[in-house]
Amino acid sequence: MSSAISPNFIIDLTLYVLLAFSVATWTLIFYKIWQFYNNHRCNERFESAFWQLHNLRQINSLALHEIEGSQARLAHEGVAWLNEHQQSEGIIIKHCGNASELFEQTLKVKLQQEYQAMESGLTILASIGSTAPFVGLFGTVLGIMNAMHNITSSGSTSLDVVAGPIGDALVATAIGIAVAVPAVLAYNFLLRRIKVQRTQLENFVISFLIMAAPILDEQN
């Protein structure tokens, strides 16, 4: 018959889980900050070159050279669709219908993909921020139960005997809160950055649609 799992083992496991949460939190924080900074830098470089173009058809080489940023990826997707539509209009079902509506839908799909890339990892941060305190509390409850059991077994109720084990048990709750706070702060900060970049992308798509309108009118 297998022996029962030791409460100390469960408490230690709880602390290891919190450590894993902390590592995941800080890894995501540094990665997402780099991702947003890099995307912002690429978008600024691309946008400054984009508005210097004489016409939309010149964007082919520019989009290919600045493909790292989200705006460049949107522009590249749009130009690729325009070229494909010009060659395949009325030939395949993908390009049957109103060119302006099909083009707008293509950009919307690409825009949604960019949103998903920006939001990746935020669910993990939110989950860690909401569950880490409870994981720590779980470890604390087990620690207090174990401490009470040991105190009962020893038959001593002096302050020195009681305070030490209970104080050690409360460490798990403190660690859980310490893990949750950066996750929640990072989640709120990154969510704000997503809203800012999302607005910039939507404005770029509107500008791109306006610039593409003469080409689409020729193809209709």
Domain around 113: 7-219
CA 42 to the chain's CA centroid = 19
**Would 213 be classed as within a structural domain?**
yes
- Residue among 43, 41, 98 nearest 75 (CA): 43
Q: What is the pLDDT of residues 145-188, one digit of tens each?
A: 877 777 677 666 665 656 666 777 788 899 999 999 999 999 99
Identify whether 145 is part of a domain: yes
**Model pTM score:** 0.78
Place of tokens 């494909």: 84
What pLDDT does residue 154 have?
66
Residue 1 domain flag: no
| Burial class for 194, CB neighbours closer than 10 Å (0-12, 13-18, 19+) | middle
- Kindly state the average pLDDT of the residues 133-147: 86
User: Average pLDDT in the 12-27 region?
Assistant: 93
Give me the phi and psi of 66, to 5 degrees please: -115, 35
Q: How many domains does the chain have?
A: 1
- For residue 7, the 8-state DSSP code is H
